[in-house]
């Protein structure tokens, strides 16, 4: 059983790298098999289809995103500091080989017709939005905006800055989000 888990992880690792670099549609099953150095049957013993492999990839990306943030912000308990650490984390994710948010890229590539994939992407983004809201609820801010509106707006700013930074290969958009936060958080 342990070998099957290791093989499954290796397949997901290879697919993750290829999906990240080339995109889902440009990555073929034969390439995954070749680069993972496995037999054709090994792939299909672990995943019934390329789409099932995509789902495993997205689930792993989501878990890894939040686990890495927890490690990145370890020891920080103050919500204000944690919020700024989240911005630092998003900057850190973009170095040096960041090719865009895997969730945004997948939806851009395959659309929303696959309800399972769409649900995983939506859940990941909702979890980020909820995390921002929970942090903001614990922080004193200017009274200009309702905290729900503020968290949704901040989420959109971070998402937009991530896309812009990916295209421009410049971290200024994310840093501008930080500057905005510094003006509204007391």
Name the average pLDDT for the chain.
89
Quick one: 80 and 111 in the same domain?
yes
Quick one: 101 and 180 in the same domain?
yes
Q: 43 with 7: CB under 8 angstroms? A: no
Assign residue 24 the CATH number of its domain. 1.10.10.60
When divided into structural domains, the chain yields a total of 2
Quick one: 66 and 28 in the same domain?
no
Assign residue 158 the CATH number of its domain. 1.10.357.10
Quick one: 38 and 81 in the same domain?
no
Quick one: 70 and 155 in the same domain?
yes
Return the SS3 of 141: strand
Quick one: 150 and 166 in the same domain?
yes
In angstroms, what CA-CA distances link 112 with 89, 121, 131, 149, 163?
A: 28, 10, 24, 25, 19
Quick one: 39 and 107 in the same domain?
no
Quick one: 137 and 93 in the same domain?
yes
pLDDT at 168: 83
**CA 24 remoteness from chain centre:** 15
Quick one: 108 and 178 in the same domain?
yes
The count of residues in the chain is: 186
Q: 40 with 105: CB under 8 angstroms? A: no
Quick one: 72 and 25 in the same domain?
no
- Closest Cα to residue 21, out of 9, 35, 7? 35
pLDDT at 94: 80
Q: 161 with 109: CB under 8 angstroms? A: no
CB count in 10 Å sphere of residue 13: 14
The pTM assigned to this predicted structure is: 0.88
For residue 169, what are the domain limits?
A: 54-184
Quick one: 169 and 85 in the same domain?
yes
Tens of pLDDT, residues 75-104: 998 988 999 999 899 888 887 777 889 999
Tens of pLDDT, residues 24-71: 999 999 999 999 999 999 999 999 999 999 999 999 999 999 999 999
Quick one: 86 and 170 in the same domain?
yes
DSSP of 53-107, one letter per residue?
A: HHHHHHHHHHHHHHHHHHHHTTT---HHHHHHHHHHHHHHHTTTT--S-HHHHHH
Distance CA 141, CA 181 (A): 9
Distance CA 59, CA 53 (A): 10
Tens of pLDDT, residues 121-176: 999 999 999 999 999 888 877 666 688 888 899 999 999 998 888 888 888 888 89
């Amino acid at each position: 059983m342990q070998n099957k888990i290791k093989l499954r992880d290796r397949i997901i690792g290879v697919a993750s790298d290829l999906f990240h670099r080339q995109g889902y549609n440009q990555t073929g099953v034969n390439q995954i098999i070749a680069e993972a150095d496995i037999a054709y049957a090994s792939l299909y013993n672990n995943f019934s289809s390329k789409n099932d492999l995509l789902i495993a990839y997205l689930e792993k990306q989501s878990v890894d995103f939040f686990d890495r943030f927890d490690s990145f912000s370890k020891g920080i308990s103050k919500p204000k500091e944690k919020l700024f650490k989240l911005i630092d984390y998003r900057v850190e994710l973009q170095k040096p080989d960041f090719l865009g948010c895997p969730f945004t890229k997948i939806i851009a590539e395959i659309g929303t017709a696959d309800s399972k994939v769409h649900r995983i992407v939506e859940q990941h983004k909702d979890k980020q939005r909820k995390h921002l809201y929970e942090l903001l609820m614990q922080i004193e801010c200017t009274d200009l905006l309702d905290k729900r509106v503020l968290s949704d707006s901040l989420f959109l700013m971070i998402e937009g800055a991530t896309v812009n930074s990916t295209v421009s290969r410049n971290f200024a958009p994310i840093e501008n989000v930080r500057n905005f936060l510094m003006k509204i958080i007391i």
